[in-house]
Amino acid sequence: MAAIKIEGLGKVYPGDIRAVQDINLDIADGEFIVLVGPSGCGKSTLLRMVAGLETITEGELSIGNKVVNQLEPAERDIAMVFQNYALYPHMTVYKNLAYGLKNRGFSQQDIDERVQNTAKMLEINPFLDRKPRALSGGQRQRVAMGRALVREPAAFLLDEPLSNLDAKLRVQMRVEIKQLQRRLKTTSLYVTHDQLEAMTLGDRLVVLNQGRIEQVGSPMDVYHRPETLFVAEFIGSPSMNIVRASTFANKDNQEAVKQLPEGTDVIGVRPDTVVFEKPAEPHLSFDCEVKLFEPAGAESHLYLHLLPDRQAFTMRVEENTAVAEGGKIMVYAPLSVLHPFNEASGRRTD
Amino acid sequence: MQTKRMTFSHNWLPYLLLAPQIIITVIFFIWPASQALYQSVLRQDAFGFRTEFVWFQNFQRLFEDDLYLNSMQVTLVFSVGTTLLSMSVALLFAVMVNKMIRSRDTYTTFLVWPYAVAPAIAGVLWWFIFNPSIGILPYMLDMVGINWNHRRNSDQAMLLVIIAAAWKQISYNFLFFLAGLQSVPNSLIEAAAIDGAKRFKRFWTIVFPLLSPITFFLLVVNIVYAMFDTFGVIHATTEGGPSQATNILVYKVYRDGFVGMNLGSSAAQSVILMSIVIVLTVIQFRYIERRVNY
């Protein structure tokens, strides 16, 4: 168990290619941090730098008050779960779990005790004598988790551990990982590109884009108050509607925009804050054509085109909403729930 | 494995397609092999005037012949030596080349080149390099006080033929090992590194076991090579000498048959050689393959 401190961390590849730059992050002991971002944003590189699998070219990394920049992966007291699990195919599950302990010189009795306990906790004890290829995807995932848990490391690093599972299993394992982490209180760094995983798992999210941190915060903070235009579009499903103020044709809207903070030229509207009835408070109104009604059980979505410039616009509606596809309607969004941004800086203006 | 069932438009078509391979096998293997089997129970006089049916006397005499038993021993040392040398050096090269990034292809090309050299040419090459009077190696060894003369020293002669026979095979083994190493997922090695295994340990506990199917395949191929295909190497370097020290079974077959004109004994020897290789291969498949992880 340990806190992780990342100061000015950067990775420069030959040819001045900056995969990751200027990362500052304080991870408290026992915290569950999720690194999230689109592919190529540097999240995996950052994780691998913490693991010691990539060299650190800039900045300083400390695990438990000790600078570990120059330490080998094994000396950093971390455990990693790989996307493809990386189980040793020629060893039984038992030996897979015991390998790391054996290398660290644990006694045979100690190894056996730990392996049995971990296997019981993850319910993989019936498979201890099997080789990985005789296991299902979910079981392999558990073994991979087990190999990380069995050593009781200072920190867990998880690199998209659920992306090879089918949808149902993924949800199940997500819940289990969360419960496990709560119980063990081990500092964890979890990489994913799936924002639902990110929202549900993390104590805090770190949203990365092009090798830089866009925003750090609790999932709800990031959702309700995205600091940058990138975060606003990336977090939330369906994603936030982004409308340029310059496209507003009607007078009321132009007046309303003036009430928003100075410099606002782009407005973000979450699909679930759009309403049919005209609100009493100050608001924006949108003249739309209905393109498609998409009922999806718990929540249904209405895909609209803003008039006159036919920009796509999404809103969340009730299942029994009566709208005719192709018809014209008026929808509203109160100013209080809007996200005002400046397009040039990409930052929030309020 | 599920195989797709083919249907042909004519009944004779599949046989026609198989014919070239069958004809080659019959002409170059089945026919000579049965000739050898037939010859091995005959005895001919040196001029070929009289042929006598002698049952298994040829075999019986061979196993009573000290020279033949010696040749078996020599073959054992030679095959094991050649296989071990060529496989271990090839593995070492493959591991080293696999670590390279930019120059990997260049090194691979150079390391594969020896395989394109004909065995007789390679033999002559070694003959020159190791030649006790004009060779460069004995000259250099002399400077460090080692007297090299494989024409008199039987251990040196054995060393020479092992090196010469292994040299060519290194290229072949290298290619297979390199391909095997490249198919080991990097994440396994990283996982082992995090699991606290040092470089050397990672290799022997993770990488090497994953190479076992390839190692097994190469073991079979190399032993068969050392027993059958090394005639050219021996013929160009030591010619079985000195005093039978490098007279391996396959070379003795040639010497007794075509130089000594004892066709019956030569045929019996090739039958024995054939059975040895068959038995060895069966043993390898039955006992070693079990420990292989595919």
Contacts of A73 in chain B (CB under 8 A): 190, 193-194
Q: What is the pTM of this model?
A: 0.79
Tell me what ipTM this predicted complex has.
0.83
Contact (CB, 8 A) for A60 and A127? no
Q: Could you please report the per-residue DSSP string of B140-198?
A: HHHHTT----TTT-HHHHHHHHHHHHHHHHHHHHHHHHHHHHHTS-HHHHHHHHHTT--
Structure tokens at B249: 């079974």
Helix, strand, or coil (residue B242): coil
Question: What superfamily does domain B66-293 belong to in CATH?
Answer: MetI-like (1.10.3720.10)
Reply yes or no: is the peptide bond before residue A308 cis, omega within 30 of 0.
yes
What tens digit of pLDDT does each residue of A22-32 get? 899 999 999 99
User: What is the structure's pLDDT at B290?
Assistant: 66
Phi/psi of residue A28, nearest 5 degrees: -75, 160
Structure tokens at A171: 């949800």
CA distances (Å), B239 to each of A233, B73, B151, B263, in order?
A: 80, 17, 10, 19
Average pLDDT, chain A: 89
Residue of A301, A292, A288 lying closest to A328 (CA atoms)? A288
**Is the confidence at residue A205, as pLDDT, over 90?**
yes
User: What is the structure's pLDDT at B293?
Assistant: 59
Please compute the mean of the pLDDT values over residues A284-305 and round it to a whole number: 87
Q: How close is the nearest chain A Cα to the Cα of B93, in Å?
A: 24
* Alpha-carbon gap, residue A99 to A233, rounded angstroms: 44
Contact (CB, 8 A) for A161 and A141? yes
Contact (CB, 8 A) for A194 and A163? yes
Burial of B91 (0-12, 13-18, 19+ CB in 10 A): buried
Residues of chain B below pLDDT 50: 1
**Is the confidence at residue A248, as pLDDT, over 90?**
no
Please compute the mean of the pLDDT values over residues A293-318 and round it to a whole number: 86
Tell whether A79 lies on the interface with B, counting CB pairs under 8 A: yes
- Which among A80, A131, A152 is the top mutation candidate for probing chain B, defined by the most B β-carbons within 10 Å of its own β-carbon? A80
User: What is the structure's pLDDT at B118?
Assistant: 80
User: What is the structure's pLDDT at B1?
Assistant: 45
Nearest C-alpha in A relative to B190:
A53
* Alpha-carbon gap, residue A226 to A339, rounded angstroms: 8
How many C-beta atoms lie closer than 10 Å to residue A168's C-beta?
A: 9
User: What is the structure's pLDDT at B2?
Assistant: 52
Contacts of A82 in chain B (CB under 8 A): 187, 190-191
Domain spans in chain B, listed from the N-terminal domain onward: 13-53, 66-293
Tell whether A81 lies on the interface with B, counting CB pairs under 8 A: no
- Cβ distance of A86 and B195 shorter than 8 Å: no
* Alpha-carbon gap, residue B106 to A162, rounded angstroms: 40
CB pairs below 8 Å between A and B: how many?
Answer: 56
**Is the confidence at residue A87, as pLDDT, over 70?**
yes
Q: How close is the nearest chain A Cα to the Cα of B211, in Å?
A: 10
Contact (CB, 8 A) for A102 and A94? no
Please tell me the least confidently modeled range out of A45-54, A208-217, A259-268.
Answer: A259-268
Q: Could you please report the per-residue DSSP string of A256-298?
A: HHHTSPTT--EEEE-GGG-BSSPPSSSEEEEEEEEEEEE--TT
In A9-19, which positions are buried (b, 16+ CB within 10 angstroms) versus exposed (e)? bbbeeeeeebb
* Alpha-carbon gap, residue A15 to A20, rounded angstroms: 14
**Is the confidence at residue A1, as pLDDT, over 70?**
no
User: What is the structure's pLDDT at B46?
Assistant: 66
Please tell me the least confidently modeled range out of A139-148, A153-162, B223-232.
Answer: B223-232
Torsion-angle region of residue A77: left (phi > 0), alpha (psi -120 to 50) or beta? left
The contacts of residue A113 (CB under 8 Å, 6+ apart) are none
Please compute the mean of the pLDDT values over residues A91-113 and round it to a whole number: 92
- Cβ distance of B190 and A86 shorter than 8 Å: yes
Tell whether A78 lies on the interface with B, counting CB pairs under 8 A: yes
* Alpha-carbon gap, residue B170 to B3, rounded angstroms: 35
* Alpha-carbon gap, residue B270 to B275, rounded angstroms: 9
What's the alpha-carbon Rg for chain A, to the nearest Å? 24
Residue of B71, B39, B72, B70 lying closest to B56 (CA atoms)? B39
Tell whether B183 lies on the interface with A, counting CB pairs under 8 A: no
Please compute the mean of the pLDDT values over residues A47-55 and round it to a whole number: 92
Please compute the mean of the pLDDT values over residues A3-25 and round it to a whole number: 90
Burial of A315 (0-12, 13-18, 19+ CB in 10 A): buried
CA distances (Å), A96 to each of B164, B204, B206, in order?
A: 42, 15, 11
In chain A, which residue ranges form alpha helices assigned H by DSSP? 43-51, 93-103, 108-121, 137-149, 167-184, 195-201, 219-224, 229-234, 251-258
